[in-house]
């Protein structure tokens, strides 16, 4: 049988066949016909306060390129530039002149932007990728992201996926998390008792935030009291030692100033004790006797310090206060191959046995009482805190407090009137020397157990945010103990528990701002952003792979999608096609924003309601 050798053009038939199988493709939205009558400052503020304002601010204000990396782990600055330009293209309505002007004022500005070809290519690609532009009259704070789709093909416009009620059980903390703004103020319960008096007395005399003063006092006083006072829980002794880190939102957040102010106060306590007939059995709890460690570079150095022989006639002091005003240096040391620093710090927070063997010499500290205070900026923290430290229990042994400069005192704030506080602290430290075991009173036990406070603190979501806040019940127990000790009481009352919950509340809100909705998995976070941008539409795995230029390592996209599915952030829908069915993945952000009455309550709010009266009545 003969065959024809004639070449026939069938492009139209191929186009029709492709249209019958292909799902709709996003088309670029037309640009507004009129230029926006909004100045640059107001436009940037609207971008920062929008639903995706945290991502915009991370790029524009902080220059954070950590989410954008090449396969070898090196920063992909060009991808970060394009990501920012995608935001600017929308907000500037495709105005290249304005995009260029705003980009030059951003934290991502670098020499490469001066290349006309690179600049034009990046802005052009960003503009072409837009499906809509900002028109000025729209309230961006409530406008959901939309995708305009070309009609055609058997698929048509994809209908929204029917919501699955099972996702409503997503942990209550996740529903009240992911704050786009840092916490402004402490809850009033945090300022209960002597801790509150310290903060309110020193506060007007310093530029430091009250939260910075509070956390500095908590870590230092918790270390001063030592291990003689404790709460016993399930085989563990919870002493009042704490790890804290002040996360500055700028380079002048006055983090170190807060620590120095607290140090001045406690130095006055020491001096007043040395000049009086002070009970010498308590000398080991005085601030001056607390050995401090700076620039801790290894776990072995911590163990060696704890094993130092005391001076003749002096008791063994198992307390150490680690001060790291450059906490990023500590995080870098932990990231080195073979570093044991993270392991030993975790054990030190627990108060366990610390042992090391160096050059054949074994050192062992059978008992330890270690407090730690670090200072870092939010950008450094995101860049230096490794994924291992996020999930191995290191990060959740810290209280993370956002802080900022709250007032201007060009000549300093002078000397605060702390004489009465110094006297009371001296008396309390003497009293606390022989306290021993402390526990909740009956009313506090009822709040903790039957009231559900304990279970509410255990209720954590998955992902990074849940991991770094995953030790709430232990932190609150230690903090409540400290409030009780500073009241010179051997039982923890509801007011002490409320104070501890208020401190924990500030930590939760800080972590929600610092770590946001991140899962801790780069691919899951990037895919989540893609799906949110496509909502109410969706993306196939092939389209997601195209974002990575089809170079994503094997299994990484599936791993990210499964993590988003597990956390209730995304769900697949089967698409029927003339050929093999395909999966369309869609964001489920509506489930995260939908709050039930119970899920809105933080542990602090729940405790307030259970008590049935204001916190002032408990003082």
Tell me the three state secondary structure of residue 104: helix
Domain extent for 542: 438-619
In the chain, what percentage of residues exceed pLDDT 70? Answer: 79
Boundary of a domain, candidates 128, 163, 194: 128
Task: Return the axis-axis angle of helices 193-202 and 255-274, rounded to nearest 10°.
Answer: 110
Q: Where are the beta strands (DSSP E) in 157-291?
A: 231-233, 236-238, 243-248
Contact 87, 60 (CB under 8 A): yes
407 part of a folded domain? no
Whether 38 is covered by a domain: the verdict is yes
Indicate the number of domains in the chain.
Answer: 2
What is the rounded CA–CA span in Å between residue 410 and residue 397?
Answer: 36
On whether residue 200 sits in a domain, the answer given is no
Q: What are phi and psi of 320, to 5 degrees?
A: -145, 135
* Residue 64 to residues 146, 249, 252, 353, 432, Cα–Cα distance (Å): 26, 13, 19, 39, 46
Closest CA to 486 of 228, 56, 215, 197: 197
DSSP secondary structure string, 246-296?
Answer: EEESSTT--HHHHHHHHHHHHHHHHHHHHTTT--GGGGGGSGGGS-EEES-
pLDDT at 365: 80
Token pair of 495 as six digits: 């007011």
Give the model's pLDDT for residue 22: 47
Q: pLDDT-based confidence at 310, cuts 50/70/90?
A: confident
Q: Which of 313-322, 377-386, 602-611 has the highest mean predicted lDDT (pLDDT)?
A: 602-611
* Distance separating alpha carbons of residues 344 and 327, to the nearest angstrom: 16
pLDDT in tens, 457-510: 998 766 788 889 989 999 999 999 999 999 999 999 999 999 999 999 999 999
Instruction: Tell me the two tokens of residue 383.
Output: 């860049």
Separation of alpha carbons 213 and 259, rounded Å: 7
Residue with tokens 């490469």: 112
Residue 294 lies in a domain: no
* 423 within some domain: no
Where does a domain end: 69, 102, 128? 128
Is the model's pLDDT at 143 over the cut of 60?
Answer: no
pTM of the prediction?
0.66
Beta-sheet strand order (sheet of 539-540): 539-540, 582-587, 570-575
Give domain status of residue 35, yes or no. Answer: yes
C-alpha 336/C-alpha 66 separation (Å) is: 19
402: pLDDT strictly greater than 90: yes
Q: 578: domain CATH number?
A: 1.10.10.10
Q: Which residues contact 76 (CB under 8 A, 6 or more apart)?
A: 65, 68, 69, 70
Let me know if residue 483 belongs to a domain: yes
Q: d(Cα 428, Cα 197) in Å, to the nearest integer? A: 15
CATH number at residue 91: 1.10.1240
**Which tens digits make up the pLDDT trace of 94-142?**
999 999 999 999 999 998 898 888 899 899 989 988 888 887 643 333 2
In a domain, 466, yes or no: yes
Q: Enumerate the β-bridge partners of residue 75.
A: 69
Query: What value does the mean pLDDT take over residues 225-231?
Result: 91
The H-or-E segment that residue 571 falls in is: strand 570-575
d(C-alpha 14, C-alpha 3), whole Å: 22
Tokens representing residue 34 in the block: 């009129």
Mean per-residue pLDDT of the chain: 80
The pLDDT tens digits of the residues spanning 311-365 come to: 776 777 888 999 999 999 899 888 888 888 999 999 999 987 888 876 667 888 8
pLDDT digits (tens, 9 = 90+) for 571-595: 888 877 777 778 888 887 544 343 3
Domain ends where: 61, 93, 128? 128
158, 537 contact by CB (below 8 A):
yes
């Amino acid at each position: 049988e003969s065959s024809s050798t004639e070449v026939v053009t069938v492009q139209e038939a191929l186009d029709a066949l492709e249209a019958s199988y292909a799902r709709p493709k996003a088309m670029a939205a037309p640009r507004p016909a009129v230029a926006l009558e909004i100045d640059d400052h107001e436009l940037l503020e609207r971008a920062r306060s929008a639903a995706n304002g945290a991502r915009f601010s991370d790029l524009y204000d902080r220059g954070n390129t950590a989410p954008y990396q090449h396969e070898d782990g090196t920063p992909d600055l060009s991808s970060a530039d394009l990501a920012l330009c995608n935001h600017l293209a929308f907000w500037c309505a495709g105005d290249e002149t304005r995009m260029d002007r705003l980009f030059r004022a951003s934290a991502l500005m670098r020499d490469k932007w001066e290349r006309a070809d690179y600049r034009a290519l990046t802005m052009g690609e960003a503009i072409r990728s837009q499906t809509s532009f900002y028109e000025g009259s729209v309230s961006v704070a409530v406008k959901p992201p939309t995708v305009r789709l070309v009609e055609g093909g058997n698929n048509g416009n994809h209908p929204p996926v029917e919501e699955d009620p099972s996702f409503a059980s997503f942990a209550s903390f996740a529903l009240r998390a992911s704050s786009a703004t840092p916490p402004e103020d402490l809850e009033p319960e945090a300022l209960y008792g002597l801790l509150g008096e310290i903060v309110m007395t020193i506060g007007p005399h310093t530029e430091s935030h009250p939260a910075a003063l509070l956390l500095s006092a908590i870590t230092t006083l918790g270390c001063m009291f030592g291990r003689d006072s404790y709460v016993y829980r399930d085989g563990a002794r919870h002493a009042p030692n704490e790890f804290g880190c002040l996360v500055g939102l700028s380079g002048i957040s006055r983090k170190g100033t807060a620590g120095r102010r607290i140090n001045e106060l406690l130095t006055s306590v020491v001096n007043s004790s040395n000049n009086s007939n002070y009970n010498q059995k308590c000398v080991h709890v005085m601030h001056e006797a607390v050995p401090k460690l700076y620039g801790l570079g290894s776990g072995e150095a911590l163990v060696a310090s704890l094993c130092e022989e005391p001076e003749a006639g002096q008791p063994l002091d198992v307390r150490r206060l680690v001060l790291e005003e450059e906490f990023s240096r500590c995080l870098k040391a932990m990231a080195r191959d073979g570093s044991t620093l993270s392991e030993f710090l975790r054990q030190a927070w627990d108060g366990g046995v610390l042992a090391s063997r160096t050059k054949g010499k074994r050192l062992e500290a059978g008992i330890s009482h270690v407090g730690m205070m670090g200072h870092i900026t939010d950008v450094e923290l995101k860049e230096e805190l490794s994924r291992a430290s996020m999930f191995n229990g290191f990060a959740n042994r810290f209280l993370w407090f956002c802080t900022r400069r709250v007032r201007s005192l060009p000549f300093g704030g002078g000397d605060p009137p702390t004489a009465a506080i110094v006297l009371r602290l001296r008396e309390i430290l003497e009293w606390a020397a022989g306290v021993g075991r402390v526990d909740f009173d009956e009313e506090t036990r009822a709040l903790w157990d039957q009231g559900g406070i304990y279970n509410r603190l255990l209720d954590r979501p998955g992902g990074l945010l849940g991991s770094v806040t995953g030790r709430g019940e232990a932190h609150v127990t230690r903090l409540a103990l400290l409030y009780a000790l500073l009241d010179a009481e051997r039982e923890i009352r509801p007011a002490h528990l409320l104070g501890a919950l208020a401190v924990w509340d500030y930590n939760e809100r800080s972590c929600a701002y610092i770590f946001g909705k991140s899962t801790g998995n780069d691919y899951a976070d990037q895919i989540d952003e893609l799906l949110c941008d496509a909502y109410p539409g969706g993306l196939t795995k092939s389209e997601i792979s195209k974002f990575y230029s089809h170079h994503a390592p094997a299994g990484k996209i599936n791993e990210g999608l499964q993590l988003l599915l597990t956390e209730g952030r995304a769900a697949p829908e089967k698409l029927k096609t003339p050929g093999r069915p395909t999966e369309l993945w869609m964001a489920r952000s509506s489930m995260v924003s939908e709050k039930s009455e119970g899920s809105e309550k933080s542990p602090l709010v729940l405790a307030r309601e259970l008590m049935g009266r204001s916190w002032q009545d408990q003082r």
